[in-house]
Amino acid sequence: MTVSTTGYVRPQAAELVRRLQEPRRFIQVIAGARQVGKTTLATQVVAHVGLPHVFASADEPTLRGPAWLDAQWDAARLLLRDAGPHGALLVLDEVQKIPQWSESVKRLWDADTRARRSLKVMLLGSSPLLLQRGLTESLAGRFEVLHLPHWSFTEMGAAFGWRLESYLFYGGYPGAAPLVVEPQRWARYVHDALIETTIARDVLLLSRIDKPALLRRLFELGCAYSGQILSYTKMLGQLHDAGNTTTLAHYLDLLAGAGMVTGLQKYAPAVTRQRGSSPKPQVFNTALMTSSTGLSLAEARHRPQRRRVPRAYDRVDL
């Protein structure tokens, strides 16, 4: 397995370039979990389209306010004086961290529309929390979303030369890929920089969680039982101070929204009571599951219970 440091460009970049080259029409929203390459993709696209731009991030320990958003918008408007017919571009990273951000963006966007300013806007943020903070309410009809998922096997293979076995164990986090030659360092990075950061800053900070310890334990349980049917009743039996199934279902929804763990429901052609069903926990990225085992890829090869490889992969050259 080789590690690549080349500037791989994700397929979604072409679509974003096409949208930005059109006349100003919609706010472009790039939504996805942490460390899937939203900022990198935006940087690559901005460099390609060549528009005068302002790039600002609200991902700071202290939350930015509406006044900061106004200042960034005004700075981008100044670029219009020397911009060509295609206008200028404002890129706001982790915009959902700004209190009442959607109301401010609506006010500023509508003011530009009335004044016929050709200022294009790109917003980046964690998909569930961004959408839940008013995107579909305050900005209805003013935006279109480009969803950026976790990296696929094809992408990790093209960017880093990985084979299937490496992808199944190390998952699809490109930022962690150079660390796989040091398994313990890789596992610590995934835990500290990805898991803890997502839970602390994307879930606990922006949502009301009455039992944060329970949410963390539910995440660990979801990783341990990923791919297996696990009823809420069994979850309650393994979690201390678990409350009720409604609480667990709500916390699982938050973890799913952050791109970590979801609960797959049984398929039914008619609407069913999903809260009372037995979901199948499923991690969005296998790195979330394997990083906590304390095993390296070489060690995992000799533990069949850790190798949940479908029979469809039996003939694939690993």
pLDDT one digit per residue (tens) for the chain, 318 residues = 444 445 899 999 999 999 999 999 999 999 888 899 999 999 999 999 999 999 999 876 565 788 999 999 999 999 999 888 889 999 999 888 788 888 999 999 999 999 999 999 999 987 566 566 667 778 888 999 999 999 999 999 999 999 999 999 999 999 999 999 999 999 999 999 999 988 987 788 767 888 888 889 899 988 988 888 877 777 777 776 666 778 888 888 889 888 899 988 776 655 544 445 678 889 999 999 999 888 888 888 777 655 554 433 333 333
Quote the pLDDT of residue 312.
35
Is residue 125 domain-resident?
A: yes
Residue 43 shares a structural domain with residue 167: no
Residue 98 shares a structural domain with residue 178: no
Q: How far apart are the first and last CA of the chain?
A: 10
| C-beta contacts of 53-57 below 8 A and 24+ residues apart | 53/79, 53/88, 53/89, 53/90, 53/91, 54/79, 54/88, 54/89, 54/90, 54/91, 55/91, 55/93, 56/90, 56/91, 56/92, 56/93, 57/92, 57/93, 57/94
Residue 28 shares a structural domain with residue 117: yes
Quote the pLDDT of residue 229.
82
The token pair that represents 89 in the structure block: 């571009």
Quote the pLDDT of residue 129.
61
Is residue 308 domain-resident?
A: no
Signed CA dihedral, 202, 205, 210, 215: sign only: positive
Residue 45 shares a structural domain with residue 123: yes
Pairing of strands 280-283, 261-264: antiparallel
Residue 213 shares a structural domain with residue 99: no
Backbone dihedral angles phi then psi of residue 173, each to the nearest 5 degrees: -105, 105
Of 147, 174, 205, the last residue of a domain is 147
Quote the pLDDT of residue 313.
35
Is residue 211 domain-resident?
A: yes
Residue 174 shares a structural domain with residue 283: yes
Range of the domain at 243: 162-302
Residue 227 shares a structural domain with residue 292: yes
Q: Say if CB 139 and CB 100 are below 8 A apart.
A: no
DSSP 8-state assignment for residue 190: I
Is residue 200 domain-resident?
A: yes
Residue 196 shares a structural domain with residue 141: no
Residue 91 shares a structural domain with residue 30: yes
Three-class SS of residue 28? strand
Domain count, the chain: 2
Measured from the Cβ of residue 68, the count of other Cβ atoms closer than 10 Å reads 15
Quote the pLDDT of residue 137.
72
Is residue 30 domain-resident?
A: yes
